[in-house]
Amino acid sequence: MAEEVTGTTWTVYDANSMTQAEIYGHVLCELGEENPDIVGLSADLAKSTKIGLFGDRFPGRFFNVGIAEQNMFGVAAGLAKAGFLPFVSTMAAFTSMRACEQVRTDICYQNLDCKIIATHGGISFGTAGSTHNATEDLAIMRAMPNMTVIVPADGIETANAVRACVNHPGPVYIRVGRGFEPTYYETEDYGFEIGKAVELTPGTDITIIACGVTVLQAAEAARVLKEEDGLSVRVINLHTIKPLDEAAILRAVTETRRIITFEDHSVIGGLGTAVADVIAASGKGCAFEKVGIPDEFSLVGYPEDLYAHYKLDTNGIIDRVRAVMGKDFEEDENWDDEV
Amino acid sequence: MALTQTELRKLEELAWQVRRDIIDVTVWAGGAHIGGGLSMVDILVSLYFHLLKVDPANPEKPDRDRVVVSKGHGGVGYAPVLARKGYFDFETLKTFNQFNSPFGMHLDARKVRGVDVSTGSLGHGLPMALGLALGARLRNESWYTYCLLGDGECNEGTVWEAAMAAAHFKVTNLVTIVDRNRLMIDGNTEEVMGVEPFADKWKAFGFIVKEIDGHDFNQICQAVTEAHAEERAPVLIIANTKKGSGVDYMEDNVKWHYGSMDSTLADQARASVDKRFNRAN
């Protein structure tokens, strides 16, 4: 079981029995053994965010500042200035909004080596309602200079991202979910690299670009669409929203000419917007749709019901892909052009 | 221990010089937060020229004392102190506020030699200073962190979040000083948003509070030295100051939170500072 899991490679069974946050907690403990400069901070969410696992292992290097997120990010900036490598964890809503200015001014402006692992991203804590949801965090974090923004697909990718961020200079924002989201990956060995998109399935008719919890759903939808519609669907896991793998998006533009994005985030400012910017700048015709939480505060509910409602589950993705396949767009003269 | 006459004369000389510098920089910059820059001069001069263990030739020295000027708009008062200490040439301050200058109103630690932490947005300094102090303690290092707060700044909730945490973590290698000049942009602190009973608030948060005249070098140095020796709890020094200190027409005058001077006003300001420090022109 989770407590017995050690080592750097997580099996499907392990990942299915542990949340992304739990895996993060265990990985951080391993990193803490290797690197004495790592310190941990939380704001009365040591248990929920699982950074408490690090705190239990290294009590002298862990600071629970109480329910004071702004102070926490300021203290983390000070610790980074003193030569430590802070890992900071609270919910995504409080990271990106309550402590937004500390993250931006104390950490990003000073370009500090500070790693933020924000849990309960998107509507993964759907029953808590909009006070605890974060459907704006990617837009906010993406706009901050120096910030790297990563949305791991599952627990296994979370382990990869947390390991990789240690040697990635500057501030990093890693956004994970809350619950026992099933995993896409079976092992850690698929070539995870910050800033590099992963093509999960090849395809020529349409490209689905997904991040976080929608990756598994997109892969499943692509399988169904192949079987039922005979569609060749390319699926890209765009785990790093910033810096963006523009080359992968441009290849999708020229090679599939239809792109659809799925994210557990507002349709304003997140993955879809980042992809749209690249498509628009390419000057090429491309049918496009971004699917996420519309410009509204989410309904209350269990995540699986909410994902179904917002077309972010397998059925929803199939539905939206079929719609985009029927979309007309103006073809340019260089239909067969290459990147 | 009281300052020797030589030490006192040195600090007074610098206090006069830096006030003259602030007037120059305000003119060069086309305007500055001169009132609050002048109120904190004697605190910064005491720190940089008597109390701090820093080496301008080696500004990143790991065991140096750290300074967080949390009232970041005091940049016009801070930059001349750093220049006089030898971090950079005073003449470079002629670029203050100009296109692509390293010097803007709020000093950027990545651009200005000697600045440990970038500040400007109020309420951010004490949390960062607390992080530095915790870091020094974690490494068993003996350097101190100094944090200079504005009194109006203490309206910000994060000041009190950090105060609560500093006391909770029993941080005693942090010296926090409030420049209590009693004025903020919109008026008197007690009229805009009262901070009194100020000392009692800090005491209730777990601090040991010392109240001094923030323009008296002996009192400043003694309070800081006592703070170093304190092992029970963090220390807060309320330094009572005059906004615009040294320039008669700016003193305690809310209009001079931020201002610019023509050559007549600048000359008047210089004459006032010279008179205050008995410098014949």
Q: Which of B118, B121, B136 sits opposite A101 (nearest CB)?
A: B121
User: Are A120 and A261 within one domain?
Assistant: no
Q: Write down the H helix ranges in A82-154.
A: 92-93, 100-101, 137-142
A231 and A295 together in one domain: yes
Q: Say yes or no: A321 and A204 in one domain.
A: yes
* Statement to judge: residues A157 and A96 lie in one domain: yes
Digit-coded pLDDT (tens) for B153-212: 999 999 999 999 999 999 999 999 999 999 999 999 999 999 999 999 999 999 999 999
Considering only CB atoms, B128 lies closest to which of A61, A68, A74, namely: A74
Question: Domain containing A18 — which CATH number?
Answer: 3.40.50.970
Q: What is the DSSP string of A265-321?
A: EESSSSHHHHHHHHHHHHT---EEEEEEE-SSPPPPS-HHHHHHHTT-SHHHHHHHH
Task: For an interface test with A, give the residue of B138, B145, B149 to mutate (most A CBs within 10 A).
Answer: B138
Residues A273 and A142 in one domain: no
List B residues 64-103 in contact with A (Cβ-Cβ < 8 A). Answer: 66
| Alpha helices, DSSP H, located in chain A | 12-17, 20-34, 46-49, 52-57, 69-81, 92-93, 100-101, 137-142, 155-166, 214-229, 246-256, 271-282, 303-309, 314-325
Cβ of B127 within 8 Å of Cβ of A77? The answer is yes
Average pLDDT over residues B47-57: 98
Residues B71 and B174: their CA atoms lie apart, in Å, by 17
Q: Quick check: A61 contacting B, CB < 8 Å? A: yes
Domain presence at residue A30:
yes
**Same-domain status, A158 and A229:** no
Tens-place pLDDT, residues B173-185: 999 999 999 999 9
Listed by start position, the domains of chain B span 5-276
| Total structural domains within chain A | 2
Domain B5-276 belongs to what topology? Rossmann fold (3.40.50)
A40 lies within 8 A of chain B by CB: no
Check CB contact of B112 with chain A, cutoff 8 Å.
no
Q: Are the Cβ atoms of A84 and B138 closer than 8 angstroms?
A: yes
Contacts A–B by Cβ distance under 8 A? 101
Helix (H, G, I), strand (E, B) or coil at B191: helix
Residue type (1 letter), B37: G
Do residue A60 and residue A168 come from a single domain? Answer: yes
The 3-class SS string of B36-94 reads: HHHHCHHHHHHHHHHHCCCCCCCCCCCCCCEEEECCHHHHHHHHHHHHHHCCCCHHHHH
0.90 cut: is pTM over it? Answer: yes
Q: Is the ipTM of this complex over 0.90?
A: yes
Contact B131 A101 (CB under 8 A): no
Residue A27 Cα, gap to closest chain B Cα (Å): 23
Contact call for A82 and B134, based on CB within 8 A = yes
A99 lies in the same domain as A37: yes
The per-residue pLDDT for A4 is 43
Q: Are residues A18 and A144 in the same domain?
A: yes
pLDDT in tens, B2-30: 999 999 999 999 999 999 999 999 999 99
Structural domain including A114 reads 2-175
pLDDT at A23 over 50: yes
